[in-house]
Chain A
Amino acid sequence: GNSVTQMEGPVTLSEEAFLTINCTYTATGYPSLFWYVQYPGEGLQLLLKATKADDKGSNKGFEATYRKETTSFHLEKGSVQVSDSAVYFCALSDVGGNQFYFGTGTSLTVIP
Chain B
Amino acid sequence: NAGVTQTPKFRILKIGQSMTLQCAQDMNHNYMYWYRQDPGMGLKLIYYSVGAGITDKGEVPNGYNVSRSTTEDFPLRLELAAPSQTSVYFCATSGLAGLTGELFFGEGSRLTVL
A→B interface (CB under 8 Å): 32, 34, 36, 41-46, 49, 51, 89, 91, 93-100, 102-105
Contact present for A99 and B48 (CB under 8 Å): yes
- Partner of B98 from the list A91, A93, A105 (CB cut-off 8 Å) is A93
Closest Cβ of chain A to B37, distance in Å, is 8
Interface string of B44-58 (1 = CB under 8 A from A): 010010100000101
Closest Cβ of chain A to B98, distance in Å, is 5
Q: How far is the CA of A17 from the CA of B100 in the complex (A)?
A: 31
Q: How far is the CA of A51 from the CA of B102 in the complex (A)?
A: 11
Interface string of B74-99 (1 = CB under 8 A from A): 00000000000000001010100111
B→A interface (CB under 8 Å): 4, 31, 33, 35, 40-43, 45, 48, 50, 56, 58, 90, 92, 94, 97-103, 105-108
Contact present for A51 and B106 (CB under 8 Å): no
Contact present for B102 and A49 (CB under 8 Å): yes
Which B residues touch A97, using CB under 8 A? 97-98
- Partner of B33 from the list A95, A96, A100 (CB cut-off 8 Å) is A100
Q: Given A43-B105, A46-B103, A97-B98, are A104 and B48 also a contact pair (CB < 8 Å)?
A: no
Which B residues touch A32, using CB under 8 A? 98-101
Which A residues touch B102, using CB under 8 A? 34, 46, 49
Q: How far is the CA of A45 from the CA of B102 in the complex (A)?
A: 9
Q: Given A43-B106, A45-B105, A104-B40, are A99 and B45 also a contact pair (CB < 8 Å)?
A: yes
- Partner of A43 from the list B42, B45, B56, B108 (CB cut-off 8 Å) is B108
Contact present for B97 and A93 (CB under 8 Å): yes
Closest Cβ of chain B to A46, distance in Å, is 5
Contact present for B43 and A102 (CB under 8 Å): yes
Contact present for B101 and A44 (CB under 8 Å): no
Contact present for B99 and A95 (CB under 8 Å): yes
Closest Cβ of chain B to A2, distance in Å, is 11
Contact present for B58 and A93 (CB under 8 Å): no
Which residue in chain B gives the minimum CB-CB distance to A50? B100
